[in-house]
Structure 1
Amino acid sequence: MTRLQQLTKPLALVLILAMTSLTWGCTTTSTGASRGAGIGAGAGAVLGGIIGSQTGSWGKGALLGAVIGGAAGALIGDYMDAQAEEIDSQVDGATVERVGEGIRVVFDTGILFTTGSSTVTSTSRYNIQKLANIMNKYDDTNVVIEGHTDAEGSEAYNQRLSEQRAEAVASLLRAYGVAGNRLSPVGYGETRPVASNETASGRRLNRRVEVLIYANDDLKRQAETGELRM
């Protein structure tokens, strides 16, 4: 059975306060306007890294950096709540988190792949198919598929394996009908651990595939105009 978790509100408050401090002092002159726009555009990514390092997950930080907020954010949150509940109840072998206005789904690569392989096991193919079915139902989202490894072996090998595993999951999702323009597979090798590589249990946590689901522009527009209906 999977595990559905909800990010606590205090961290969301930290996000708001941090965003305020990052954008404080932006000028309105012709030169300052572009500088201010650059700070605003980069704030989400910066906050993603900050919060990611605090929460033990870069993916979680990235989702928090994309928070919209307000009434539109609440509507998107409801949309994501419903999707997360379906993933949690139907997709075995995954940990499901609702983070900000997005969803983080984490698969232990020991479940998806045999050691050193980037071929998804037959059992896991069925779970990826169930995930794809849910994504097709809630199709106003974009999806990042991240591959991660532990620090065993060379950095080059781990980087290549993480890329191959992310692409293998993305390829299956496409095969099961998820539009390719929604999917962004990326490999991070051993560079983004969520636990210590000094222990077997830590290395296992670091060997993972993260699926990050967040609102696309059309879903944001529907939420902002009040057109979004569940």
Structure 2
Amino acid sequence: MKKNIFIVTLLCTGILLSGCASWNNAAKGTAAGAGAGVGIGAAIGALIGKDGKSTAIGAAIGTAVGTTAGAIIGKQMDKAAAEAAAIEGAKVDSFTDANDLKALRVTFDSGILFEFNKSTLNEASKKSLTNFSKVLKDNPTMDIMVFGHTDNTGTLEANQKISEDRAQAVARFLRSNGVPARQIVEIAGRNFSDPVASNETSAGRAQNRRVEVYMYAGENMIKEAQQQAR
């Protein structure tokens, strides 16, 4: 059994590196709904985040999601991804969540949102976040998590505080623009514990200063997709 999981994981990694980028989310949702398995989910998670935290993102539903329902969710994610990608300053990536369903990570560089070492949103960022809030309101059954990140300049305590304050500032602004509080499942600061680039260069540190918003199928979204699939 372990050997089979290892082989599937290797195959998935090979597919991801060679061709999965050309799939749309509906096709990926179909594959995920077919029960690709924990091994594939972990492999994708490892590629998305060094600590594999993406594999822990997903609604706690306690049951497998079928092929058709997975495709329905994948199609909804396609639409949301296209809308989010059109927003100035937003970078959109897709990944597989803990339920083997398509999910999105929307990244805003902190330089777009905040002045250096500040946690008050600048005026230029508010237009982007207002447009982003519309995407979230159009998808009320998608759950979201908001994480703030920093570079490694300064103490851990100082970076923890500013990363938390920035995540809270983004979440607060989204709520003020009509995003339901229940849709925001988690708001947290990650300090400099999850870099996406080297902190040895100024360019790398700039990439590490960011706010990430994870969008994934909530329990109600999954239930609706399952009903449509019947």
Q: TM-score, normalised by structure 1?
A: 0.74
Describe the shift of the 1:64–1:158 C-alpha distance in structure 2 as closer, same or farther (beyond 3 A).
closer
1:221 aligns to what?
A: 223
Q: Does 1:54 align with 2:47?
A: yes
Q: Structure 1's 53 and 154: CA in aligned 2 closer, same or farther, altered over 3 A?
A: farther
**For the residues of structure 2 that align with 1:201 and 1:127, how far apart are their CA atoms?**
23
CA contact (8 A) 1:60 1:99 kept: no
8 Å Cα contact 1:80-1:103 kept in structure 2? yes
Q: Could you give the per-residue CA deviations for residues 123-177 of structure 1, whole angstroms, max 9, x where no partner exists?
A: 1011101100111111111110110001000000000100000000000000000
* Counterpart-to-counterpart distance in 1, 2:66 and 2:201: 39
Structure 1 pair 112/170, CA: closer, same or farther in 2 (3 Å)? Answer: same
In the aligned structure 1, how far is the partner of 2:133 from the partner of 2:52?
20
Find the aligned partners of 1:141 and 1:154 in 2 and give their Cα distance: 35
CA distance in 2, matches of 1:121, 1:99: 30
Matches within 5 A, 1:153-172: 153-172=154-173
Counterpart code for 1:104: R
**Match of 2:9?**
none
DSSP 3-state at the match of 2:151: coil
Closer, same or farther: CA 147–136 of 1 in aligned 2, 3 Å: same
Please give the TM-score of this superposition, normalised by the length of structure 2.
0.74
Q: Distance in 1 between matches of 2:22 and 2:66?
A: 15
Matched, 1:72 2:69: yes
Quote the RMSD (CA, aligned, Å): 2.9
Alignment correspondent of 1:134: 135
In the superposition, relative to structure 1, how do residues 209 and 96 fare at CA in structure 2: closer, same or farther (>3 Å)?
same
Unaligned runs of 5+ in 2: 1-19, 97-101
Q: 2:94·2:103 contact (CA, 8 Å) conserved in 1?
A: yes
Q: Distance in 1 between matches of 2:66 and 2:51?
A: 20
Structure 1 residue 62 displacement after superposition = 3.6
Contact 2:149 2:189 in 1 (8 A): yes
Q: Which residue identity is paired with 1:99?
A: F
Partner of 2:204: 202
Contact 1:128/1:172 (<8 A) preserved:
yes
Matched, 1:85 2:59: no
Q: 1:208 to 1:217 in 2, by over 3 A?
A: same
Unaligned 5+ segments in structure 1 are 1-5, 21-43
Moved over 3 A (4+): 6-10, 15-20, 50-60, 62-69
* Cα distance per residue 1:98-125 (max 9 Å; x no partner): 2231111001001100011000110101
* Identity score, percent: 36
1:74 positional shift: 0.9
* CA distance in structure 2 between the aligned counterparts of 1:18 and 1:215, rounded to whole angstroms: 17
Contact kept, 8 Å, 2:90 with 2:108, in 1: the verdict is yes
Q: 1:137 to 1:58 in 2, by over 3 A?
A: farther
Amino acid of the residue matched to residue 79 of structure 2? A
Q: How many correspondences in the alignment?
A: 193
Question: Matched residues in 1 for 2:175 and 2:57: separation?
Answer: 26
